[in-house]
Each structure stands twice: as structure tokens, then as C-alpha cells.
Amino acid sequence: MAKLYYKFGVMGSSKTASALMCRFNYLQKGISVLLLKPKIDNRDSSDEVVARIGISAPCTTFSESENLQVLFDEQNAQNKFKVVIVDECQFCTKKQIDQLREIAENVPVLCYGLKTNFKGELFEGSKRLLEIADSIQEIKSVCQCGKKAIMNGRFVKGLMVTDGQEIEIGGDEKYRGLCWSCFKKEQEKTRVYEKIIKHLNVLKELDSAGNWSGDTSADNIIMQTPHVIYEDDVKTFIEDFKEFQIKSPDKILLIDDNIDTLRKITMKDKDFDYMMCLISFVLKLEKDKPGILKTLIEDGTMIKWLKQIKKCVDE
């Protein structure tokens, strides 16, 4: 008995490779397969299904207005196809999945594709397949941390984005399969970055980050430890950063709190997390070593660090 199969996985779970291997297995047994793929946009003229591991096969493409039942009947005029395989089935419309459902009354239809988009929401085709497929199977894969990947993160340069169109045409972007905790971490990273990086230009323009408390009033009878009264722009920077402050940066960084050590940190190979940790470290240090932030802003070190954070994301 023919069935409608839905085999889903995240980005990078070798869905297309699995589809092509499945086709190969049928062909080896002398069974003809009709390989189908939705046209994602008009510029996509390639009539080929290509897997990243380097295998490919010719296919028939269809637009979102095409009736797949009609398409199948046309292609199968001589009754040669015994199996239908659809790659990127998430891009099918609900109607087209219903048409595949009808085709599956006579020949097995195997659909390979994603389940959810970069926002973690079902695609139209995936939703319908979950509703009406006879067999639903997950093609499992792992996240960078080793846990099971369930989300599809869309990355533009080094940052994950969760806004935008479901299909970004011509966008310079990459997708990565992630577990829920890594997905959340990447989301937080984007938020941190957007909040922090706007301070780069402001801090760059500052001549003075602030004044020592002793400089302003001489008639203060209460003896206070000297501290820096920071400019408003610096205060906003500190406030914005506080939200993301790492609790024990000293334990992560394993560097001493000497200002020359801090100045000399070479940027080569330092990643986003390291730089965020370093800034956290300095903000924490300000309590014990008042004025350290003032020095590091005025001598350009903080600017250098923020630029490095920007570089980590831009490259």
C-alpha cells in the first residue's frame, strides 16, 4: 500500500542527501522515481537537487501555483514512475500537499524538508504534512554543543536574526541547526550586540570620560575615597552593559587586574564572548580600582575592544 511519508530535519541534517540516497536505492532495484522540487524564486532555474556532500540528481521543479496531481499525470503518461520524492517540501502550499496526498493513493510519496522556519514556526507545507502524512519521521542531527538540534537559526554575518521574511531572496545568510539553549544564547547575543555596539561611536568622540570626585568640590567635609564621576554617555554605556554583565569574569579570563596587562591584550583570535567578558571584568574592577574605566576609555583601549566585538560579528 502506498503511503505519504514526511521526513523532516533541521538545516544541515542531510535531508537532501537522504532523499538522493533513497532515490538511488529505488533506481538500483530498477524502480523509476520522479524527483520533484519547489521553485523558491524565479531566478532558481536549476533543475537539479544538490546535496551539500556533493551528490546531485536531475529533478522536475514546480511553482507554487502548479497542480502536482496534474504535473504527476503529465510526467507519468507512460506509467513509469513508481515512486515520488519531493525535496524542500516545506515550500509546498497546503493545496499541493493535499495533491501529493492523492498521488500517494497509488504510489509512495516521500517528502523531505524542514519542519520550522528561523522563527521556530511551521512552514505551510510542513504543517499540512504533519496533519495528513501516514508516516512522520525525524532525521536527527546535533547542535554545535552536542545536544539534539531542533531549531533553524538564520545568521547574517555573525549574528542570528529572528526578524524578516520566511524566505529571504538573495540574502547573504546562512542557516544552522541549533538546540533550544544555543538558539536562546544566540538570540541573547544579538540583543547584547545591538545594545552595546551603538556606544562605540559615542565613546570614540569623548575627550574626557569623567572627572575625579576631588576635582569638583574642595569644601566637601565628608572624606570619601576618590572616585570618578562619569560623563552621562559613559553612564549609559555602563548601564546598558550591566544587564549582560558576567558574574565572575576573573575566573573565566584568568588575567590579572594590572592596567598594563589589560592594555596589552592582543586582539588576535579573541572572540565575541571573550571581549564581552573583558568589558565585564573592567566594569567590576572599577569598584576596587576607581578610574580604571576612565583610563581605558581615554587611552582608546575600550574603543579597541568594542571594535573587536564589531569585527567578530562582521567577519
Within 13 Å of residue 69, how many CA atoms lie on the same side as its CB? Answer: 11
Does 148 participate in binding Zn ion (rule CB under 5 A)? no
3 state SS for the chain: CCCEEEEECCCCCCHHHHHHHHHHHHHHCCCEEEEEEECCCCCCCCCEEECCCCCEEECEEECCCCCHHHHHHHHCCCCCEEEEEECCHHHCCHHHHHHHHHHCCCCCEEEEECCECCCCCECHHHHHHHHHCCEEEECCCECCCCCECCEEEEEECCEEECCCCCCCCCCCCEEEEECHHHHHHHHHHHHHHHHHHCHHHHHHHCCCCEEEHHHHCCCCCCCCCCCEEECHHHHHHHHHHHCCCCCCHHHHHCCCCCHHHHHCCCCCCCCHHHHHHHHHHHHHHCCCCCCHHHHHHHCCHHHHHHHHHHHHHHC
Does 143 participate in binding Zn ion (rule CB under 5 A)? yes
Does 202 participate in binding Zn ion (rule CB under 5 A)? no
41-80: which residues touch Zn ion (CB under 5 A)?
A: none
By CB under 5 A, name the one of 57, 83, 109, 182 that touches Zn ion: 182
Stretches 82-90, 146-154, 214-222, 255-263: which one binds Zn ion (CB under 5 A)? 146-154
Closest distance of CB 19 from Zn ion, Å: 26
The burial class, CB within 10 Å (0-12 / 13-18 / 19+), for 264 is exposed
By CB under 5 A, name the one of 119, 140, 147, 148 that touches Zn ion: 147
Does 3 participate in binding Zn ion (rule CB under 5 A)? no
Residues 48, 64, 74, 88: which is the catalytic one?
88
Closest distance of CB 179 from Zn ion, Å: 3
> How big is the site for Zn ion, counted in residues (CB under 5 A)?
5
Q: Is 88 a catalytic residue?
A: yes
Q: Which is nearer to Zn ion, 17 or 178 (CB)?
A: 178
Closest distance of CB 184 from Zn ion, Å: 10
By CB under 5 A, name the one of 17, 110, 179, 285 that touches Zn ion: 179
- Give the end-to-end CA distance of the chain in Å, rounded to a whole number: 52
Does 264 participate in binding Zn ion (rule CB under 5 A)? no
Stretches 22-30, 119-127, 179-187, 189-197: which one binds Zn ion (CB under 5 A)? 179-187
Stretches 120-128, 181-189, 281-289, 304-312: which one binds Zn ion (CB under 5 A)? 181-189
Closest distance of CB 210 from Zn ion, Å: 41
Spatial separation of the C-alpha atoms in residues 106 and 194, rounded to whole Å: 54
Closest distance of CB 309 from Zn ion, Å: 22
Closest distance of CB 143 from Zn ion, Å: 3
By CB under 5 A, name the one of 27, 145, 169, 267 that touches Zn ion: 145
Does 140 participate in binding Zn ion (rule CB under 5 A)? no
| Contacts for 29 with CB less than 8 Å, ≥ 6 apart | none
Does 21 participate in binding Zn ion (rule CB under 5 A)? no
Q: Which is nearer to Zn ion, 19 or 179 (CB)?
A: 179
Q: Which is nearer to Zn ion, 36 or 179 (CB)?
A: 179
- Judged by the rule CB under 5 A, the positions of this chain that interact with Zn ion are 143, 145, 147, 179, 182
Active site (catalytic) residues? 88
